[in-house]
Structure 1
Amino acid sequence: MKFTQMAKANEIERDWIVIDATDKVFGRIITEVATILRGKNKPYYTPHVDCGDYVVIINASKAKFSGNKLETKNYFTHSGYFGSTKTHKMSDMFENNPEKLYKLSTRGMLPKTTLGKNMLKKLKVYAGSDHPHTAQIKG
């Protein structure tokens, strides 16, 4: 009989993948990144093990948005106190801090556990084309 092999955390080899966001649709980038971070693109994907790769997104401020999401979509934050709901427009977040917007969007597609939190730590986002991870990236 053949059995499905379950990946073990100490046997996983992680790669570094660079994604250039120039003129790509924001949502398509995020779904691709979430798939890579979870490790679903690998043949030995195991749901309870962090088997994904590191992802570096460059030129994050040059992504495109489909429809009119930049003008209409809002993000809400709440501190827990009464009346402390704050609204942030997507266009303001994209102009001021695109790194935070990418991480927030990717976090919504990952598991809501400590495993998902550890997966999100492997995401590195940079607004420009320069990044300090050139030594880790092969070829």
Structure 2
Amino acid sequence: MKNNKLTARNKRKSINLALWTAAWVLTIALVSFGYKFCYQSPVISIITISVNLLIGIGMIIANMKYLNGLDELQRKISLEAMGITLGVTLVVGLGYSMLDTTNVISNDAEISYLVIVMGLTYIVATVINNIKYK
């Protein structure tokens, strides 16, 4: 019975985290595409960026609650994946930035590529850790 309650609570926290994350991504799209296609107002940009930051804080809190609800093994898997992601993002991000600043690449270094590297690294590290610890 206790295990079922824990599973239901973790499921609710997972859904809550997913909703906060989706809202955050939508506000990023609103800021980015809204400015480009709907408005060119600094005032509206400040408002939408402020909303994005507030929703981002909500997402961080939801993530903390999610992590605190995990059992020891799940927490270990997640924290190791986060540590690997931090390291890869730092090393790749700085390398990518140096390629830009030394004009080895012709385009400006874009943060969106780094976010993709971060997301893919976290997913791969989580999958590998789940296989390793099961």
TM-score bracket, normalised by the shorter chain, equals: under 0.3
Q: Relative CO higher for 1 or 2, CA cutoff 8 Å, sep ≥ 6?
A: 1
- Taking structure 1 as the reference length, the TM-score comes to 0.26
Bigger-Rg structure (1/2):
2
- Taking structure 2 as the reference length, the TM-score comes to 0.27
Structure number with the higher helix fraction is 2
